Amino acid sequence: MTTCYLKFKLPSAFLFLILLLPGLNAFAQKKEVTITGNINNLVQNPGLIDVYSFKYSDMATDKDMIIPINKDAQGNFKVVFAINGYQEISLRQAAKLPKGINLEAGVTQFDFYVSPGQHLNFSFYMSADYSDRKIIFTKDGALFNNQMLAYYNSLQRSGVDDSLRNQSDELIKKGIPYLKKYLNEQLVLALEFNNKYFGPDDKTGKNPNDKALGKGKFNTVEGNMVKKQAELNLRYSAANAIMRAMVVNNVNDPRLNDYLKEFKVKLNDPAMYGTDIYKDFLHHYFMVMGRAADKKAPDVIILNKDIATFIVQNHPELEDDDKALAKKILDTINKPTEDEINRFLNQVATRYVNEYMANRPHNLPGFDYALTIKDPFLRDLYATRVLYQQINGNIGFIKPNLSAYLKNVRSGYIKDDFLAYYQQEIDKINNSTLPAKAVLYSPKQLTGTDPFKRAIAKYKGKVVYVDVWATWCMPCLGEMENSQKLREKLAGKDVVFVYLCISSPDDKTWKSLIGTKNIEGENYFLNYSQSQAVLKSFKITGIPYYLLVNKDGTVAKANAGRPGDDETIDSINSLLRK
């Protein structure tokens, strides 16, 4: 039977708070916050280093924001950055890795809360033997943060908080009903702890915690805020555990809304917009919803004549053989044979299917699903997150959805920030220039039947790190920043970075990405037959794929480590010493 179409699965949407002060818009225009203080941590931990940062999760992008702290020899620092609403911030101590410092890894020393326009100050002291730990907040928001810190220290000592926030895989796999029963029991215990902590002593009628907190007693405005925040955090911890279990167990329990009502939490809760636990809760909720949207999304049938027409009309630079094959598909008199159809599908059409789909409406099922959500906040947030996820790899998929986005998304801050970032990335692509140290080779410059050997032959006497990638491969593009860091670490050494771009539609996109991703090194654009030869030679079933080549030109290691892996630089240095 003659094959007459391509089947294409649309890209997944996800391969994946805080008491609001009166009058504060959680998504208002960004405003600066100032944090000053002193950090004096005397603990000598071999896995950590005396380097710190602030971290919080951005609501719109679902990404962690890392703000480095530059402290002087005495431990004093001042950091100014912009936030768009009340935020829970973590003080993070960086991990010390064999190849450097990692701000994203490490440990959280403590959390605190800050609002736009505030100037918060704190001092943090830890003795070398851990026996003396002091954290004192002053200036704006100090009373609230000191009270919250005292509460959390007591809560952690009780152990009830950990049972709500952390569940074993064994417990999660027992199923949602069993987990809900367990969480209800733990939540009752945690709320009983809160009642005792914030309530009066049975004998004296006074709160025993008032004395340590001085003027910040729990019958004040600040005290009531702390009590409310403490309760909400516990309730959302239980709700988040349910959402995480749905993700892990790959289920979408229809009783979810009943569970949320039982825990007294809401999907849209302005009182929690800035807190980590609420953001984590939404992250898992959107993962479940995204998975449901993907299951409902039908396979898209692409007629051969439609994609052949698109290719011929939009790619005049197509090689003669490929162009003739595409025109043969459109020939209604001398119809193509089944062999010609299969060659067109495998050799030509598959390279352009992403570009073809990027120009069609309804190419993101997660986005279409997002627009059906009734709650305006959840709709705006989910729709924006879906589009944000396309920027670093499938940015072309966004354009057909922009008119619907502009029409349906109403949140000014979320929309304005996304559109500004999107335009910035489009400008980078349109105005990108090739890096000075990038050398480009066309398919015609790789003669012979073995393009890999031909490509590396000229680098004998040097160690070669080969990166096999494609313009449409998001994980490939995600590693390019690490590749740049690796090049910088090995600068001046006899190492050559070779980038083989395979199975990609056109060299225009290739050149643009070399510019925007700063891919310095030896860049080769391979045609279909050359790409197939490389894939077959090393039995490559997925990209990115990396190889290490000895100084004599032989392959030292196929399927080598990624640029961001610690082992990679060790392997390269080992080859350099030979």
Domain membership of residue 82 (yes or no) is yes
pLDDT for the residue numbered 28: 52
pLDDT for the residue numbered 320: 84
Residue 319 has pLDDT above 70, yes or no: yes
Task: Take residue 283 and report the two structure tokens written for it.
Answer: 């992250």
Q: How far apart (Å, rounded) are the C-alpha atoms in residues 263 and 526?
A: 57
CATH of the domain at 571: 3.40.30.10
Q: Report, as an integer, the average pLDDT of 200-215.
A: 49
Examine the domain organization and report whether 260 and 184 are in the same domain: yes
Examine the domain organization and report whether 130 and 196 are in the same domain: no
pLDDT for the residue numbered 289: 86
Assign 168 a pLDDT band (cuts: 50, 70, 90). confident
pLDDT for the residue numbered 1: 33
Examine the domain organization and report whether 527 and 456 are in the same domain: yes
* Single-letter code of the amino acid located at 474: M
CATH of the domain at 90: 2.60.40
pLDDT for the residue numbered 169: 79
Q: How far apart (Å, rounded) are the C-alpha atoms in residues 208 and 346?
A: 75
Residue 377 has pLDDT above 50, yes or no: yes
Domain membership of residue 284 (yes or no) is no
* Mean pLDDT of all residues belonging to the chain: 85
Write out pLDDT tens, residues 390-441: 887 778 889 999 999 999 998 777 898 899 999 998 888 888 888 889 999 9
Write out pLDDT tens, residues 527-559: 888 998 999 999 998 899 999 999 999 999 999
Residue 515 has pLDDT above 70, yes or no: yes
Examine the domain organization and report whether 540 and 453 are in the same domain: yes
Residue that finishes a domain, picked among 342, 358, 374: 358
Domain membership of residue 185 (yes or no) is yes
Assign 146 a pLDDT band (cuts: 50, 70, 90). very high
Examine the domain organization and report whether 117 and 211 are in the same domain: no
pLDDT for the residue numbered 46: 85
Domain that holds residue 486: 438-576
pLDDT for the residue numbered 207: 52
Q: How many structural domains are present in the chain?
A: 4
The DSSP-derived string for 82-109 is: EESS-EEEEEEEEEEETTEEEEEEEEEE
Burial of 104 (C-beta count, 10 Å sphere; 0-12/13-18/19+): exposed
Least confident of 274-278, 357-361, 572-576: 357-361
Assign 35 a pLDDT band (cuts: 50, 70, 90). very high
Examine the domain organization and report whether 493 and 556 are in the same domain: yes
Domain membership of residue 423 (yes or no) is no
Q: How far apart (Å, rounded) are the C-alpha atoms in residues 425 and 415?
A: 15
ω into residue 544 within 30 of 0, thus cis?
Answer: yes
Domain membership of residue 286 (yes or no) is no
DSSP conformational letter for 253: -
Examine the domain organization and report whether 134 and 175 are in the same domain: no
Write out pLDDT tens, residues 437-487: 999 999 889 888 899 999 999 999 999 999 999 988 888 998 999 999 999
Examine the domain organization and report whether 442 and 569 are in the same domain: yes
Assign 170 a pLDDT band (cuts: 50, 70, 90). confident
Q: How far apart (Å, rounded) are the C-alpha atoms in residues 11 and 300?
A: 11
Q: 360 or 155: which carries more pLDDT confidence?
A: 155
Domain membership of residue 71 (yes or no) is yes
Write out pLDDT tens, residues 113-125: 999 999 999 999 9
Residue 12 has pLDDT above 50, yes or no: no
